[in-house]
Amino acid sequence: MIPVVPSISHKMSKDLINFYAYLKNKNHHAVKVPSQKDKPSIIVIGSGISGIAATKELTSHGFNVLLIEARDRIGGRVHSVELGKGQFIELGAQYIHGIKNNPLFNISQNYQLEVKPYTRSDWAIYDIEGNEIDKNQLSEIVDEYKHLLSSLSLERKSDNKDRFLVEDMKELDTKILRHKATKEGDLYALAKMISIKEYNEEKLFQYKLGVIKKESESNYLVTNGYSKLLQGLLNDAMQTGLLKVVLSTQANKIQHTSENISVHTKNGEVFQADAVICTVPLGVLKAGTLMFDPPLPKLKTKAINKLNMAIHNKVVLEFEDVFWDNNLSHFVVLYDPTLNAWLDIINLQFFHTQKMPILSSSIYSGNNAKINTDKYMLNHFVNLLKRIYPDTYRPLKQHWITDWGNDPYSLGSYSYHPEGSGLDDNSEIAKPMGRVIFAGEHTHRSPSNIQGAYLSGLEGAVQVVEQLHNIYEMAAHDS
Ligand SMILES: Cc1cc2nc3c(=O)[nH]c(=O)nc-3n(C[C@H](O)[C@H](O)[C@H](O)COP(=O)(O)OP(=O)(O)OC[C@H]3O[C@@H](n4cnc5c(N)ncnc54)[C@H](O)[C@@H]3O)c2cc1C
């Protein structure tokens, strides 16, 4: 979830695609096109940001694209719900992580995405009983935490500036847990948070505790519907006349030989293409519900098994009126023992131009945590809010509760690195198998976020060009 300057620039991918367009126009009659059509056709599986980015790039350079999506909507883990009158809530991604050198931010401006800095100037922290935690008391804990961090002189991986070495994290865990034995209370909560081994989240909770301030300053909340970006990119692709989108169509097998590639669907259809870009999430690859014939190589399967999916769910509650302190941008519940998670509750009214009495709670938890039933979750959150605001509480109007971990088309929220895995595993998953190309957040060296997913889509388009180019060259050589 941390912004990293991409290794491949948008311009570079455009240049490669332009090169392909040039090659195609110049040599079109000299080489045998595998599909024997005027334009190569590509199947993109999955209409998340990676699939849509690849689709837009390919169609704008003359490729036919068939976009196959299992759900009845586009967007994948970007899921904006419009409540009318320009009001939106987000059930999936909500932030742009950093705007400097972030190609996602630049492109979001083309599609009129409104972003507001996610500042930490006005916020409060509570414990699960609804007691506000004194910030001074907390700063003591933060100091202790900082001290622990500095005493470890943590080293950062050279290939990834945003993560600590697993060994460092282990040592940190041990030290904090030792503190737990001597000191109960908030430090115990902190220790529990840290024992939720989400390395991707590690920096996030540091900033929650105020250890890192710059990070929070560079997070931006999208307020007018993140899906505008995806719909905008898709509309552009549509306008080329080269795109067909099929929704509610689950791909369940990719059959590939050096000659042919076909995608089989659960409905029994078979689609042929010159290349396939597979953007199904890591969770789907791990579950094996999309088969490959011949199967994925051992090294790729090993890398898929090494990475894991983190669980991050949302409980979004709309009330009849605001009953909370409306000057707060958000409030944090340090540790929720029932959910084994920490909670970040955003006051949407603070950020949105359209005033909505809505609280959007993120549940940041470990990969083993399971979401409970809707009824349970609803009661859990309503009771928590009643404990925090016993005198002013107002009735609930409507609610949304996500379960990304059990959704068959995501099976988790985003990839993370458990102990013993690293960015090389992401790169291994990204390797093409002939003309079957892999994209999606989990294939990128800046994984877990929309930015990485977007760039992986562009890189996937480039890989299509490279693979087809190889075939063109071979065909030209043979003729
Ligand atoms: C609750 C939550 C909060 C998040 N917050 C942020 C945030 O604030 N900022 C951020 O940058 N990132 C955030 N993320 C992560 C971000 O949403 C993802 O990294 C990104 O959207 C992934 O895009 P993708 O294209 O790789 O995958 P997806 O968006 O998952 O797209 C894959 C698509 O494939 C489809 N599919 C799956 N299986 C099949 C099949 N067999 N056949 C056909 N189609 C199939 C799926 O339906 C889906 O549409 C969050 C994620 C969650 C869940």
Which residue's alpha carbon is at the smallest distance from atom 27 of ligand 1? 48
| Distance, CA of 455 to CA of 52 (rounded, Å) | 11
Give the Å distances, CA to CA, from 328 to 12, 110, 123, 225, 363.
43, 31, 5, 22, 19
> Is the domain of 389 the same as that of 440?
no
Which residue's alpha carbon is at the smallest distance from atom 10 of ligand 1? 449
Please tell me the distance between residue 396's alpha carbon and the centre of ligand 1 in angstroms. Answer: 29
Backbone angles phi, psi at 15, to 5 degrees: -60, -45
> Is the domain of 466 the same as that of 327?
no
Give the position, in ligand 1's atom list, of the atom nearest the Cα of 312: 1
Which residue's alpha carbon is at the smallest distance from atom 35 of ligand 1? 46
Answer yes or no: is the C-beta of 411 below 6 A from any ligand 1 atom.
no
Name residue, tokens 């079957």: 436
Q: One-letter amino acid identity for 109?
A: Q
Q: Which of 357, 376, 401 is the last residue of a domain?
A: 401
Answer yes or no: is the C-beta of 440 below 6 A from any ligand 1 atom.
yes
**What pLDDT was estimated at residue 15?**
61
In a domain, residue 292? The reply is yes
> Is the domain of 168 the same as that of 295?
no
> Is the domain of 297 the same as that of 326?
no
Pocket-testing residue among 45, 201, 311, 414, ligand 1, by greatest number of atoms within 8 A of Cβ: 414
pTM of the model: 0.85
**What pLDDT was estimated at residue 164?**
45
End-to-end CA distance of the chain: 49
**What pLDDT was estimated at residue 199?**
34
| Distance, CA of 255 to CA of 450 (rounded, Å) | 29
> Is the domain of 441 the same as that of 376?
no
Please tell me the distance between residue 76's alpha carbon and the centre of ligand 1 in angstroms. Answer: 4
Q: What is the CA radius of gyration of the chain?
A: 24
**What pLDDT was estimated at residue 215?**
42
Give the position, in ligand 1's atom list, of the atom nearest the Cα of 265: 42
Pocket-testing residue among 215, 246, 280, ligand 1, by greatest number of atoms within 8 A of Cβ: 280
Question: Is 16:461 a contact under the CB 8 Å cutoff?
Answer: no
Task: Tell me how crowded residue 435 is: count the other CB atoms within 10 A of its CB.
Answer: 24
Answer yes or no: is the C-beta of 360 below 6 A from any ligand 1 atom.
no
> Is the domain of 126 the same as that of 198?
yes
In a domain, residue 201? The reply is yes
**DSSP, residue by residue, 36-74:** -SSS-EEEEE--SHHHHHHHHHHHTTT-EEEEE-SSSSS
**What pLDDT was estimated at residue 46?**
98
| Distance, CA of 151 to CA of 149 (rounded, Å) | 6
**What pLDDT was estimated at residue 478?**
58
Q: Which of 401, 432, 465 is the last residue of a domain?
A: 401
In a domain, residue 332? The reply is yes
Omega within 30 of 0 (cis) for the link into 408: no
Could you tell me the CATH number of the domain that includes residue 176?
A: 3.90.660.10
> Is the domain of 170 the same as that of 196?
yes
In a domain, residue 407? The reply is no
> Is the domain of 56 the same as that of 178?
no
In a domain, residue 109? The reply is no
Pocket-testing residue among 44, 52, 66, 77, ligand 1, by greatest number of atoms within 8 A of Cβ: 77
Q: Is the alpha carbon torsion for 455, 461, 467, 469 positive or negative?
A: negative
- State which H helix or E strand residue 201 sits in: helix 199-208
Please tell me the distance between residue 75's alpha carbon and the centre of ligand 1 in angstroms. Answer: 7
Answer yes or no: is the C-beta of 40 below 6 A from any ligand 1 atom.
no
**What pLDDT was estimated at residue 142?**
58
Could you tell me the CATH number of the domain that includes residue 283?
A: 3.50.50.60
Answer yes or no: is the C-beta of 444 below 6 A from any ligand 1 atom.
no
In a domain, residue 153? The reply is yes
In a domain, residue 100? The reply is no
Answer yes or no: is the C-beta of 454 below 6 A from any ligand 1 atom.
no
Domain hosting residue 70, numbered range: 10-78+225-306+417-478
Name residue, tokens 């004194």: 134
For residue 67, give the nearest of 234, 239, 303, 253 by alpha carbon: 234
Answer yes or no: is the C-beta of 446 below 6 A from any ligand 1 atom.
no
Please tell me the distance between residue 384's alpha carbon and the centre of ligand 1 in angstroms. Answer: 29
Number of domains in the chain: 2
Which residue's alpha carbon is at the smallest distance from atom 48 of ligand 1? 76
Q: Which of 351, 376, 401 is the last residue of a domain?
A: 401
> Is the domain of 150 the same as that of 27?
no
> Is the domain of 336 the same as that of 301?
no
Give the position, in ligand 1's atom list, of the atom nearest the Cα of 250: 42
> Is the domain of 199 the same as that of 314?
yes
Q: pLDDT (tens digit, 0 to 9) for every residue of the chain, 479 residues total?
A: 322 223 344 555 566 666 666 555 554 333 333 444 456 689 999 999 999 999 999 998 888 999 999 999 999 999 999 998 788 999 999 999 888 778 888 899 999 999 998 876 688 888 788 888 776 666 665 566 556 555 555 444 444 434 444 455 455 545 544 443 333 344 444 444 443 333 334 444 444 444 444 443 478 899 999 999 999 999 999 999 999 999 999 999 999 987 789 999 999 999 999 899 999 999 999 999 999 999 999 999 999 999 988 888 999 999 999 999 999 998 888 777 788 777 889 999 998 877 789 999 998 765 445 566 888 889 999 999 999 999 999 999 999 999 999 999 999 999 987 767 889 999 999 999 989 999 999 999 888 899 999 999 999 998 888 887 776 666 555 55
In a domain, residue 217? The reply is no
> Is the domain of 127 the same as that of 208?
yes
